[in-house]
């Protein structure tokens, strides 16, 4: 099997590193920002932020027509810096948090799946990261 295409999305969040990390990793916050469009939502989330810890989010269309679980296991965790994980289908993803003054640069890199175009996947993950930025900055 050939190597998978890697996609990177990022956003500069106008919030301190510790707050940004907390809102990224805490299930009570994840359910508020983890969607790519306003007609979707996350109905439940869990996240055990340690090596070997599992994460899961149930993402669903608000009209009830479709839902799926986005889940996996954390392979590496460096507090306030980096989380590397393996998704349920075996693809790898990594998110890094970089303090830039009073702001935090959040960068997410993931291996593309083969069902949707690379561009569609990039747009979807960027939309979720944009929602994350809006949510954090509103708190």
Residue 132 included in any domain: yes
Give the Cα separation of 55 and 46 in Å (integer): 5
pLDDT tens string 43-83: 999 999 999 999 999 999 999 999 999 999 999 999 999 99
Q: Is residue 129 in some structural domain?
A: yes
Query: 58 in a domain, yes or no?
Result: yes
Token couple for 114: 């083969």
Task: Kindly state the tokens that stand for 89.
Answer: 């289908």
Q: Write the CATH number for 93.
A: 3.30.530.20
Q: What's the rounded mean pLDDT across residues 111-119?
A: 94
Domain range enclosing 22: 6-138
DSSP code per residue over 116-131: S-HHHHHHHHHHHHHH
Summarize pLDDT for 4-52 with one digit per residue, the tens: 899 999 999 999 999 999 999 999 999 999 999 999 999 999 999 999 9
Does a structural domain hold residue 103? yes
1 is a domain residue: no
């Amino acid at each position: 099997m050939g190597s998978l295409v890697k996609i990177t999305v990022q956003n500069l969040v106008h919030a301190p590193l510790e707050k940004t990390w907390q809102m990224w990793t805490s299930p009570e916050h994840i359910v508020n920002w983890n969607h790519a469009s306003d007609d979707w939502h996350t109905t439940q989330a869990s996240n055990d932020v340690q090596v070997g810890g599992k994460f899961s989010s149930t993402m669903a269309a608000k009209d009830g027509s479709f839902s799926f679980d986005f889940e996996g296991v954390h392979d590496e965790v460096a507090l306030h810096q980096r989380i590397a994980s393996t998704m349920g289908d075996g693809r790898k993803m990594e998110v890094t948090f970089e303090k830039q003054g009073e702001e935090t640069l959040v960068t997410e890199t993931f291996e593309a799946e083969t069902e949707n175009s690379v561009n569609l996947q990039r747009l979807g993950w960027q939309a979720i990261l944009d929602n994350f930025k809006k949510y954090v900055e509103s708190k």
